[in-house]
Homo-oligomer: A and B are copies of this chain.
C-alpha cells in the first residue's frame, strides 16, 4: 500500500513506479487531508509553511520547509491557502516561474468575486501555469476514504501539459478527472460545490404550496364538513384517503405544467411572427425546470399508485366491504353484476395504468445516462409524443373516475367545487390549446417561424 513514501525511492531502479514530489503550500485541514492521501498513493510530499517547525498534525512522512525551498523541490505546487492570502505569493514569483500551481480554493457564496480565484492567481503570477482542481472534493471524504459520492474532479487550465500532470495525480488518488477546458471554466467549477439543487428549488416550493392548499381543501370538505353536517368522525382520512386524493391531483396538474410553457412559447412566437427574440424571463426559467416538474409529478403519481394499491389492506376498506355484503344478505337478495359500473371501473383503472406506465418511461429516459444515449430526434419523440400521450391518458383517467361528480350536487359542499374538477382545469386547457396548435392552418406558420422565417423582418433592426 505504502510505496515509496520517502524521496530515497527516487533512486531505486524500479523507475516506472517513481512518483514526482508534490509540494503543498498551506497546512490547513484540506492541505493536510490531501497530503495524507497523496502519501498513501506513493507521492513524496513536501509542505511549504511559514514556520518550518514540524507540526504534529502534518503527515509523518512529509517534509516541512519554507515556501521557497519547498517550491524548488517540486514541479507541482498545490496552493491550499485562502484567496485573501494569495498576495503573499507575489514575492515568490521567480521561484514559481514555470511551475504548475494547483488552485483548490472554494468560495463561501456563488460568484463572490468578479473573477474566479484561479484566474486571480493566474493574473498575480503570469509566469506560472495555473490549474484549477480538487475543489469539488471534501476533505472529510478524502481522509476517510469513503467517497460514496461523485469521484469526479473537475480540472481546468490554459496549459495542456500542466493539466495532464494534475489529471495524472487525480487518477493516482483513485478519483476521476474531468477536463473542463481552459481557465475560463474556473468560475463555474468554483460555483459548483456551493449549489444545493438550484434547478429544483422553484418546482419543490411550488409543489409544497399546492400540496398544502389541496390538503387543507380536502380536510375542510371531507372531514370538517362531514363532522358538522353528518356527525361522522372521519379524522383517520388524514393518513391515506386524503393523501391519495391530493397526490393524483398534484401529479396531473404538475404534468400539465410541464407542457404549458411550450404552449405559451408557441403562442408568443406566433404572435411575434419570429423566433429571434428572447422569451420573457419567467418563461425561460419555467422551460428550464420542466424536467424537475415532471419528475416531481412522477413522484406524486407513484405515491398515488401505492396508496391506491394498499386500499384492500385498510381496516376501513374491509369494514366497508363487509358491511356491503352483510346488507345484501340481510335483505336476502344478491345484486347482479352492474355492467356499466364494471366498464367504468375497469376503464379508469386501465387508463390510469397505461398513463402511469408511459409516465415511468418518461422518467427513465430522463436519467442522465439514458438521455445521453439518445439523439435529439429520439429525445423529442419520447418527451413530446409519449409525454402528451401520458397527459391525455391521465386526464382521461381522471375524467372517467371523477366524471360522476361533475353534475352531482353533493360534489359542491359549501358551494366549493370538488377537487377533481379543480384538477382538470389546467390539463384540459393544455390539451385543447395543443389541439388547436397542431391544426394545419396554425402548425404551418409555426413550423416556418421555427425554421427561421420572419413575418415582419423590419422590427428586428
Contact = CB atoms under 8 A, between A and B. Distances in A.
A100 to B, nearest CB: 16
A377 interface: yes
Given A309-B309, A325-B325, A275 B376 contact: no
Nearest to A151: B372
Interface stretch (A44-52, A208-216, A343-351, A405-413): A343-351
A321 interface: yes
Interface string A361-391: 1000011111111111111110100000000
Interface in A130-145: 136-141, 143-145
B306 A305 contact: yes
A341 interface: yes
B171 A357 contact: no
Interface stretch (A61-69, A71-79, A428-436, A446-454): A446-454
A16 interface: yes
A314 B346 contact: yes
Q: DSSP class of A's interface residues: helix, strand, loop or mixed?
A: helix
Nearest to A305: B306
Contacts of A192: 375
Given A149-B374, A329-B329, A321 B318 contact: yes
A57 B319 contact: no
Residue among A32, A235, A360, A380 with the highest chain B CB neighbour number at 10 A: A380
Contacts of A305: 306
A236 B346 contact: yes
Interface in A304-331: 305-316, 318-319, 321-330
Which of A36, A137, A279, A353 gathers most chain B CB within 10 Å?
A353
A16 B144 contact: no
B373 A287 contact: no
Contacts of A308: 310, 313
A122 interface: yes
Nearest to A31: B452
B158 A16 contact: yes
A377 B196 contact: yes
B287 A339 contact: no
9 contacts: A16-B184, A17-B115, A57-B452, A150-B371, A193-B376, A195-B377, A314-B349, A367-B369, A368-B372
